[in-house]
Structure 1
């Protein structure tokens, strides 16, 4: 079992396996001693399980340099006083690197719900262990709905995914339990993927996608695979790989989950309509959006589904419809959809309220309603420069600012918005 969740979370965020970390540490040891280090993957595993709570001084220094933080923030005990081989102080952490990895508080939040390491060598893993992880997954989904893609949420999700796989490797379980653990590992990794997509970090997101797809295949769960195809389509769009986005959306709509449940078919069809609209396939996009609406109306909304599907209600149907209309140039219709979305959004969906409000500002600006567009955009700004927006929303406001400067470069509202935005924009990633 994972005894050191802090180290596990840092490794997961960096995409490091045990042997890869050992190799990296050995190279760092060589840099400051002149001799290649002797860290093995077994030693790394002992750190992860908590069997070794304090690495040797050279290893401690290498760890601190590799992750850019004190060893205590990696879950290790403070170094013993009087050591004959004291490590040098770790260099100050680069603020960009700090955003790349999880905070101690985030990893501790994950650790709080993980069970302690067992005393036996091969513990029995059952549905109770999986239920505990399922509860944690629902909590992460709720946090994502409220706050959007943050490095804290991303790393917590990776820590839970790592724990699900640790249960696979060290515990005895039935095939049914193992399939569910693979599903949970895929679901957690998918949440990390979406956090990276929401923060507009495509390289990190791509690593998570590759891992999550493998885990989803091992789980045999069509619902989580559908979710990942949807994320893959959005990621490919961010990367300007539009044909890849179309292929991912088509794969999602052809999935077994869509064949069985109209609500999944609504989701996949609405995503596909947005991509078709972005490719200039206007008639196909409108036809697919109509199919999505029909599927939504036929669905049994009271049927039990995974926690992540709770997000897809009628407000999201309107929101996805708004994106289709914007991409085909029907900005008045996009605005109408967005007003319906914002009126129907549940209070806990703070991230989406901000995201769709930014789209509303753009729709109003593209109809030359400059004053109202600036007022709407101002409602999206964080309260202070110390707050933040997700990467996607921040980029929407960048687009809004550029288009505003082109549409009405000397208007009073443009000048006021530009000054206001310049004073706040340091808050978003």
Structure 2
């Protein structure tokens, strides 16, 4: 006699053990006014195929617990089952009619009649990957923030329909990841108060989901918020929290990112020695990173992005030549799909060249930012970076031909990079 792969698949998707399923069915039996006498051994006979058709009220309780008909759970009724159980026929008929009606509805409506399982969480996570790819290409904006918050609401809206602690934790974790994505979009959009609120909400959710990776992400991004606000103490405090999170102890790649963020924090405070030491730790940790599966938001980080962050550190330390070298190495390695990051590294390169008095080369490089971003509007964070370049340019060489050409070009585009 063969096993029951359908029941096994449903249990796996819902994160149910044999004991967990027995408890659920017994709960339904008590609700029906019957003793809860189902044992783990009986569940084992279902999975092995030894028992092909649950009997009487147990079958009804199983249907109610998993919200699926026995046939959907891989059971095969004996030919004599219906005459022997006339009192069960109305229940089975109602379930059959409900299943037939559900088959004609959209898949989202069908999912509402079922308990939420790992497959449902996987589908929601695929949508998050699409938002992350959009952010990588275009940068943060209001529509992306709204879509991310809608995804978080959708994940939280399914928590009450779970019957597994592991699925529930994954939903909380996913909601935290969506919320952090909304926060990161706000950083790019220079709406720092909104970003801070989203990351604080994400940190509350990661506790429910026991998600140390997203916690590290939230602290890493809060350090970015502090940096954008021009607050060295807030930048450093959040960077230390990211650096010391449990996720960085488990994953060298995340440890590397935490060290790099700390390096930026120390450089903004003027602590050159500590900043360079953190960069060294970041390089060492990245050398130990493996190819394990990670959330989509981490895909941007690797050796090229570490060079880009190193360029920021050297810029703060007034080491323009080193910043230029790091920017060139970053642009040689940042993949094309990370267009926003390439544009940011290009702007940093222009600043480094300007810091060395290379006015014509710097303006040509800065113009490349607009070429990279094409017809899409510049994210405000990138526009602020170009504003720093613009102010430095007119301070260093107000009467130079390259300065006039730069100014005429951005005015012709209707751009105002200084913000």
Structure-1-length-normalised TM-score: 0.70
Q: Which of 165, 190, 197 is 2:156 aligned to?
A: 165
Structure 2 residue 206 is the aligned partner of structure 1 residue 216: yes
Q: Tell me the alpha carbon deviations over residues 254-312 of structure 1, each in whole angstroms, 9 at most, x when there is no partner.
A: 11111111111100000000110011011000011101101011111x22212111111
Is 2:376 aligned against 1:387?
A: yes
| CA–CA separation in structure 2 for the residues paired with 1:402 and 1:115 | 55
1:201-259, Cα deviation, whole Å (9 max, x unpaired): 11211221121111111111111100111001001121233212111110111111111
1:307 aligns with 2:291: no
Q: Give the Cα separation in 1 of the matches to 2:208 and 2:109.
A: 25
Asked whether the 8 Å contact 1:385–1:425 carries over to 2, the reply is no
What is the rounded CA distance, in whole Å, between the counterparts of 1:423 and 1:193 in structure 2?
33
| 1:258 correspondence with 2:269 | no
Superposed, which structure 2 residues align to 1:264-279 within 5 Å? Answer: 264-279=254-269
Q: Partner of 2:64 in structure 1?
A: none
Q: Distance in 2 between matches of 1:172 and 1:179?
A: 10
1:100-159 per-position Cα deviation (integer Å, ceiling 9, x unaligned): xxxxxxxxxxxxxx9524596x74111011000111111111111111112221111111
Contact 1:382 1:427 in 2 (8 A): no
Q: Distance in 2 between matches of 1:174 and 1:393?
A: 44
Deviations 1:312-363 (A, max 9, x none): 1111111111111111111100000000110111111111111110111111
Q: Indicate if the aligned counterparts of 2:138 and 2:373 stay in contact, CA closer than 8 A.
A: no
Taking the aligned partners of 2:302 and 2:355, their CA distance within structure 1 comes to 27
1:379-406 per-position Cα deviation (integer Å, ceiling 9, x unaligned): 1126899631111110111111111111
Give the alignment partner of residue 276 of structure 2, picking from 259, 263, 286: 286
Q: What's the counterpart of residue 89 of structure 1? A: none
CA distance 1:226–1:331, shift in 2 (3 Å) = same
> 1:347–1:387: structure 2 CA closer, same or farther, 3 Å change rule?
closer
CA contact (8 A) 1:358 1:376 kept: yes
Query: CA 1:294–1:119 in structure 2 vs 1: closer, same or farther (change >3 Å)?
Result: closer
| Bigger radius of gyration | 2
Aligned with 1:419: secondary structure?
Answer: helix
Whole-angstrom distance in 1 between the partners of 2:300 and 2:294 = 11
Match of 1:187 in 2: 177
In structure 1, C-alpha distance between the alignment counterparts of 2:414 and 2:259, rounded to whole Å:
35
Q: Is the 2:162–2:168 contact (alpha carbons within 8 Å) kept by the matching residues of 1?
A: no
Query: Secondary structure of the residue that 2:399 maps to in structure 1?
Result: coil
Deviation at 1:369, TM superposition (A): 0.1
Cα 1:246/1:119, change in 2 over 3 Å: closer
Give TM-score, length-normalised by structure 2.
Answer: 0.72
For residues 102-121 of structure 1, the aligned pairs below 5 Å read: 116-117=108-109
| SS of 1:304 mapped into structure 2 | coil
Superposition pairs for residues 24-423 of structure 1, below 5 Å? 116-117=108-109, 123-169=114-160, 171-300=161-290, 302-381=291-370, 387-423=376-412
Contact 1:385–1:423 (CA under 8 A) maintained in structure 2: no
Secondary structure of 2:350's counterpart equals helix
Across the two proteins, how many residue pairs are aligned to each other?
313
Aligned residues of 2:242 and 2:258 also touching (Cα < 8 A): yes
RMSD of the alignment, in Å?
1.9
Q: Secondary structure at the match of 2:413?
A: helix
Change (3 A) 1:266 1:245: same
The 1:372/1:136 distance shift into structure 2, 3 A limit, reads same
- Distance of 2:207 and 2:266 partners within structure 1: 27
Gapped runs of 5+ residues in structure 1?
Answer: 1-113
Report the Cα distance in structure 1 between the residues aligned to 2:315 and 2:231, rounded to whole angstroms.
20
Alpha-carbon distance in structure 2 between the residues aligned to 1:383 and 1:134: 29
Residues in 2 aligned to 1:211 and 1:118: alpha-carbon distance in whole angstroms: 30
Instruction: Tell me the distance in 2 between the aligned counterparts of 1:119 and 1:312.
Output: 35
Aligned residue for 1:141, secondary structure, equals helix
The change in CA–CA distance for 1:205 and 1:384 in structure 2 (over 3 A counts) is closer
Distance 1:119 1:175, change over 3 A: closer
